[in-house]
Amino acid sequence: MKDIRIPTCMDCPCRLDYEGSIGQIRDGTRMKPFERYCTATKRPKLIRKGYMIRKPPSWCPKRKDPCEVRVFGFASDEAEQMHYFRAATSGKVSPQEHRYKPVFTGTIPLTPREFWRRCHEYGADLGLPTKVELYQVVEIDDGLKPVCFYLTPNGYQMETLFDPNKTKKE
């Protein structure tokens, strides 16, 4: 089982490494040289060194609690038939964004990592507020890094190449 890596402040585009030679006041915060700040808030906030390596702090403005869940189904019957045909002929098929559209949007108390572990533990989609059909894609967004899961006959698999922004709109 490949585990999902928790994003850290090192990966965040809102992180600012201030490297000036003297302190500077920016948006009401005095920045000190060689300190790291989070610019996602109204005023830059100091990031302690421990948060750079471990999970983001609880005050992170990008974090969503509860997480958003979106389920993507086939956009048309033709797209579904083409997908089944490709799955029957080539075996392993990954979803293509232009064949999918959003079917359900809601919230879930699980993070993507907890959902992935629960799928491997129990073998079912426990905790989802809707029923997921075969070959549908589930996106769980915790605000830090959304993760997509693709339901196959063998269970869920993580789908890294699926981009939900390229799907057809309702």
92 and 46 in a single domain? The answer is: no
- Domain boundary among the residues 61, 85, 110 is at 61
Backbone angles phi, psi at 148, to 5 degrees: -105, 140
Q: Is the pLDDT of residue 72 over 90?
A: yes
Mean pLDDT (the chain, rounded): 84
Q: Which residues contact 62 (CB under 8 A, 6 or more apart)?
A: 12, 14, 40, 56, 143, 144
Task: Please compute the mean of the pLDDT values over residues 74-83 and round it to a whole number.
Answer: 89
Q: Is the pLDDT of residue 1 over 60?
A: no
78 and 119 in a single domain? The answer is: yes
57 and 87 in a single domain? The answer is: no
Residue with the larger pLDDT of the pair 157 and 55: 157
> Residue 91 has what pLDDT?
72
122 and 143 in a single domain? The answer is: yes
What residues does 67 pair with on adjacent strands?
108
- Domain boundary among the residues 61, 89, 113 is at 61
19 and 76 in a single domain? The answer is: no
90 and 16 in a single domain? The answer is: no
Query: What are the DSSP calls for 18-53, one per residue?
Result: E--SS-EEETTEEE-TTEEEE-SSSS-EEPPHHHHH
Q: What percent of the chain has pLDDT over 90?
A: 15
78 and 118 in a single domain? The answer is: yes
The number of distinct structural domains making up the chain is 2
Question: How sure is the predictor about 143, in pLDDT bands with cuts at 50, 70 and 90?
Answer: confident
Question: How sure is the predictor about 170, in pLDDT bands with cuts at 50, 70 and 90?
Answer: low
Q: Is the pLDDT of residue 103 over 90?
A: yes
Please tell me the distance from the alpha carbon of residue 20 to that of residue 31, in angstroms, as a whole number: 9
80 and 29 in a single domain? The answer is: no
What is this structure's pTM? 0.82
Residues 33, 21 contacting (CB under 8 angstroms): yes
In what order do the strands lie in the sheet containing 15-18? Answer: 15-18, 35-38, 45-46
86 and 151 in a single domain? The answer is: yes
93 and 125 in a single domain? The answer is: yes
Question: How sure is the predictor about 7, in pLDDT bands with cuts at 50, 70 and 90?
Answer: confident
**H helix or E strand, kind and range, residue 17:** strand 15-18
Domain containing 29: what range? Answer: 1-61
Task: Please compute the mean of the pLDDT values over residues 29-34 and round it to a whole number.
Answer: 85
Number of helices and strands in the chain (H, E)? 3, 10
57 and 93 in a single domain? The answer is: no
For the record, the structure tokens of 27 come out as 């948006």
- Domain boundary among the residues 25, 40, 61 is at 61
105 and 35 in a single domain? The answer is: no
Give whichever of 17-31, 65-79, 114-128 has the largest mean pLDDT.
Answer: 65-79
Q: Is the pLDDT of residue 107 over 90?
A: yes
